A and B are shown apart, each in its own frame.
Chain A
Amino acid sequence: MKIRIRFSKTGNLRYIGHLDLMRTFQKAIARADLPVRFSEGFHPHPMMSFASPLSVGETSLGEYMDTELTDPMTGQEVLTRLNKTLPAEIRCLSIRQLPDEEKKKNNNAMAIFGRAVYEVRLRPPYDALPEGTDPAAIIADYRSQPERILVKKTKRSESRTDILPYIYHFAYDDGAFILCLNAGSQVNLKPEVVMEDLFRFAAIPGTEPLVNEEILRDLRFSITRLDMLTAEGVSLSETGRALP
């Protein structure tokens, strides 16, 4: 029985990278004694697949993991058992059953993931916007531009992409910017990239990184991934069918 679990990753767990998150799940599954299918060979490991890695430092309310159970179970039982063994800052929120007949089709979370929704807040000392700044108006102005070219330099080449078509939603509400961006294997647009470009566009002071006399990473944004969607804009928590 293939299942898809939506989970959150918050608090101090934002310091745990993707590989360690997978290890954490693997061990939590073992402690919960869930009948997860294992791979073959000398080093069998539980079959798990995560939709997309979350950057270290970001929190999330909408992460997804696919796995397969060898014995049927109720969704509630799976969630209860996992939440008992997972660290408190990872919570399994909901579960869906995936159709078996699509086994051969590549319908895992990683493959169908196409968009992500983010909430971005400004961290001190960047959080005080200049008096009279109307973020909503600036966003509207920004999105109505003919193009916003993002230049990506690698050692050998330089790629230029207009990022505006990849922004599906951009709003400001009570201190939080909400963005829905293209994601996945083709164009993975990061929220901090869009935010920096918006600030550059609006020439908001503090756009340029503060002079950082130490080697410390410059943290302007506090980012939470709210959900992951398919390319068509359907939440991954609504794919497959309900598993009570």
Chain B
Amino acid sequence: MRRPALPDEILLTIDKPARYIGGEINSIDKTDEQKNGKIDVRFAMCFPDVYEIGMSHLGIQILYHMLNMREDIWCERVYSPWTDLDPLMRSRRIPLFALESQDPVKDFDFLGITIQYEMCYTNILQILDLSGIPLRASARAEEDPIVIGGGPCTYNPEPLADFFDLFYIGEGETQMFPLIDAYKENRKRGGSRADFLKAAAQIPGIYVPSLYEPAYNADGTLASFDPVCPDVPSKVRKEIVREMDTAYYPEEPIVPYIRVTQDRVVMEIQRGCIRGCRFCQAGMIYRPVRERSLDRLTALAGKMLAATGQDELSLSSLSSSDHSQIRPLIESLIDSCNEKHVNISLPSLRIDSFSLDVMSRVQDVRKSSITFAPEAGTQRMRNVINKGLTEEDILTGAAEAFKGGWTKVKLYFMLGLPTETEEDMKGIAELSERICECFFDTVPKENRKGKIQLTASSSFFVPKPFTPFQWAVMEQKDEYLRRAHLVKDTFRAQLNNRSMHYEYHEADVTVLEGVLARGDRKLADVIETAYRSGCLFDAWGDFFEFDKWLQAFASCGIDPDFYTVRSRADDELFPWDFIDIGVTKAFLLREWKRSQNGELTPNCRDACSGCGAAVFGCGICVKERK
């Protein structure tokens, strides 16, 4: 038994002590190897949120097990101490520790932090602070761990640039080992921290922020962004896995003791998306779409279930219905899973006769709901965002579902999309109403088992880097709320209002997310000031304090409006433009222009639109099209 880093009286006082003790089935303990001097590199892999969220993240599971395959590396996990533990660790000066060894993070060679959403930025500072690592990379000493950032938010790493030694841009499978080998090499040579960072900057996908310098125009926009020394590349191209079937995938995922958000085996069936929705960052940064084969997936499912004993299998990907083998895959999984009393949790499948048939076999129709993501209320607006889902698709799918016995419908929308008019806002309620009417038209009174229950929810659109909407202008908080209230009022005016429920997300979180998403290096001071004033777990509604953030902006002399409501010129140099995701800025701009006219762009399977991702020479870009 390993002695926990936290004393008994703390563990038995705080909520869910199992968050902090490690030792889960399939977690990796290299204590003996460590004692025998076989471990050269200790890597702390961190998801800066609470255990239950962090343990549900697939990317960390992949890298954790991949790094631990190497005998000279011990990779361990770190999550954010919850708000009950945080003050106890500070008052008792207990340094943040990794779960497996319970050793302080500060003693590690690397601290890798995955950055999945903007609202975790203050949690990143908490991790560094509790570890006893200086927040600013420039203040770190030779013995401090190298702090690496990865994940989707690193496609605009600039707001966090001062806090990280380096960023890994792209998919972690490809360059982690070269990076660690460069570290070992540098240490063998007796090189310094600065020497290592310089060497790392030569590795594809690695961005070392201290080796680049931004210059600003008088209006605050970026004038230039250049390397400070000649041998550092001026552009950093994202790293991607070329061949999914041979890419590493963990066959023995960790089985947490406590119930986590994703309390099941997760199998990634493909990476990327063919759709090209213009608001969607994932749809652009993960191009081109690459599938795992049917054979590989069925074999993986069997191995993962046997190694975990989990009773649920979830398929993960963007737009799963677009996987070319989705039908045979699901059919084969249902057969093998039924035998083993394993449930299949279906991914976001398009609602059609196939998915309804599958759902009726794996779920209790009376209890489950069908989900549509029209994203917008009118066809015009859906054309602007290039969402290839028509009202007819939705009503046909809904009618089939109602015939099959479903009565619960969930709808997801966005408010505040570019070019949005009042008609588009009202369209959210009106489309919902037509779905309700479809229920009453489709199901005769005598066959109705319960009444339709429709839930529509809307989030406010946040423009993200590397999307056609990266040029879009956001709205002020009050305008967002006005639009949400207008939708709410329109719902009230509908005939079937009593069968419908409408909810909308917080508007102030949207504004902050908008600032951080398209932010620049000037924001580092704001983030640190907000953290020092007590902002933490901003992604959790209960803890989010917008006023403290506004005070932080004010005291740093930064105007948040600069990042949100300012209009950006077509040729503005963006803070993230030094990153090359394959998809070109020219393509994104073309898409931005087409969106203004509501022009649709075909998906990658129907036709190539020349986005630039073909430069990677893999996936759909090298497949024959229909």
List chain A positions with a Cβ less than 8 A from chain B.
Answer: 10-12, 15-17, 19-20, 23-24, 26-31, 33, 38, 42-46, 56-57, 85, 87-89, 123, 214-219
Contact = CB atoms under 8 A, between A and B. Distances in A.
Given A31-B306, A42-B364, A45-B311, A57 B8 contact: yes
B13 A12 contact: no
Given A15-B21, A26-B309, A44 B341 contact: yes
A56 B12 contact: yes
Given A26-B309, A31-B308, A20 B258 contact: yes
Secondary structure at chain A's binding surface: helix, strand, loop or mixed? loop
Contacts of A123: 8
B18 interface: yes
Contacts of B340: 30
Contacts of B11: 15
Contact of B1 (A12, A31, A38, A219): A12
Given A29-B309, A44-B341, A217-B9, A12 B255 contact: no
A57 B7 CA distance: 12
Contacts of A16: 18, 257-258
B10 A216 contact: yes
A218 B11 CA distance: 12
Contact of B88 (A11, A30, A214): A214
A56 B13 CA distance: 10
A29 B32 CA distance: 28
Contact of B307 (A24, A31, A46): A31
| Tier of interface size on chain B | 20 to 34
Interface string B14-42: 00011001010100000000000000000
Contacts of B174: none
Contacts of B482: none
A88 B25 CA distance: 10
Contacts of B310: 27, 30
B2 interface: yes
Given A23-B257, A26-B311, A216-B9, 13 more contacts: A11-B1, A12-B1, A15-B21, A16-B257, A17-B18, A23-B259, A27-B309, A42-B362, A45-B311, A85-B25, A87-B23, A217-B9, A219-B8
Given A15-B18, A43-B343, A219 B9 contact: yes
A63 B175 CA distance: 48
Contacts of B390: none
Nearest to A33: B306
Interface of B: 1-2, 4, 8-13, 17-18, 21, 23, 25, 88, 91, 255, 257-259, 305-311, 340-341, 343, 362-364
Contacts of B4: 12
Contacts of A56: 12, 17
Given A15-B21, A43-B343, A31 B309 contact: yes
Contacts of A24: 257
A12 B99 CA distance: 12
Contact of A28 (B18, B307, B309, B364): B309
A15 to B, nearest CB: 4
18 contacts: A15-B17, A15-B18, A20-B258, A27-B25, A27-B310, A27-B311, A28-B309, A38-B341, A42-B363, A43-B343, A44-B341, A57-B12, A85-B25, A89-B23, A123-B8, A215-B13, A217-B9, A217-B13
Please name the 4 residue pairs, one residue from A and one from B, whose CB atoms are nearest each other, closest first.
A30-B309, A27-B309, A11-B1, A31-B309
Given A15-B18, A42-B364, A89 B8 contact: no
Contact of B23 (A12, A33, A216): A12
A219 B13 CA distance: 10
Q: Which of B10, B257, B340, B343 is most buried by chain A, counting CB atoms within 10 A of its CB?
A: B257
